[in-house]
């Protein structure tokens, strides 16, 4: 019997979930509660002035805030609102970071930050010019991948 396209798609999705499972198994959240006492934060620690740390964390909360607005607007195909929320998170925000702080950030950190800001620029432009919800959702998912990658690599300590 020839499988229908839908069945094959479901089979593919299932295969992806099964393939992803070993990754989850290594995730810190899948340990038993007792293991948490021994959990080490192995992310590289950046040591910054308290005001620099506050500035970066504020920007992070603005990312999350903007993404919440975008997710909501995408659910009603309101790509104008998506573009409005994405624009301030683009490279215009990166230009507000002082050179003294930029100098302290590792190359990999800056590359991931650049990918996120550039991603929001492109997302805003495409949301306006194409008006294609699925396309914008995919761009948002790709941006979120850079968020995830950076969070897996770095933490920020306030230098005293």
Give the integer Cα–Cα distance in Å for 54 and 98.
13
Nearest CB to ligand HEC, comparing residues 6 and 40: 40
CB within 8 Å of 82: residues ≥ 6 apart? 69, 70, 73, 74, 123, 124, 127, 136
Give the integer Cα–Cα distance in Å for 115 and 111.
6
Nearest CB to ligand HEC, comparing residues 24 and 114: 114
Strand boundaries in the chain, DSSP class E:
44-48, 154-158
| Interface mask toward ligand HEC for 73-112; x: CB under 6 A | ------------------------------------x--x
- The answer to whether 68 contacts ligand HEC (rule: CB under 6 A) is no
- The answer to whether 64 contacts ligand HEC (rule: CB under 6 A) is yes
Strand pairing category for 154-158 and 44-48: parallel
The residue range among 4-12, 15-23, 126-134, 146-154 that interacts with ligand HEC, by the rule CB under 6 A, is 146-154
Binding site for ligand HEC (CB under 6 A): 57, 60-61, 63-64, 67, 109, 112-113, 116, 143, 146-147, 150-151, 154-156
């Amino acid at each position: 019997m020839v499988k229908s396209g839908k069945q094959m798609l479901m089979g593919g999705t299932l295969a992806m979930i099964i393939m992803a499972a070993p990754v989850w198994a290594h995730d810190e959240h899948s340990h038993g509660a007792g293991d948490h006492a021994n959990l080490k934060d192995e992310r590289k620690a950046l040591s910054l002035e308290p005001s620099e740390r506050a500035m970066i964390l504020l920007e992070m909360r603005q990312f999350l805030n903007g993404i919440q607005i975008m997710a909501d607007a995408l659910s009603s195909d309101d790509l104008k609102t998506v573009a409005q929320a994405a624009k301030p998170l683009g490279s215009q925000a990166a230009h507000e970071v002082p050179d003294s702080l930029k100098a302290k950030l590792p190359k990999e950190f800056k590359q991931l930050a650049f990918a996120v800001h550039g991603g929001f620029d492109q997302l805003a432009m495409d949301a306006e010019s194409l008006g294609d919800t699925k396309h914008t959702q995919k761009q948002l998912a790709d941006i979120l991948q850079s968020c995830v990658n950076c969070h897996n690599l770095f933490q920020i300590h306030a230098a005293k």
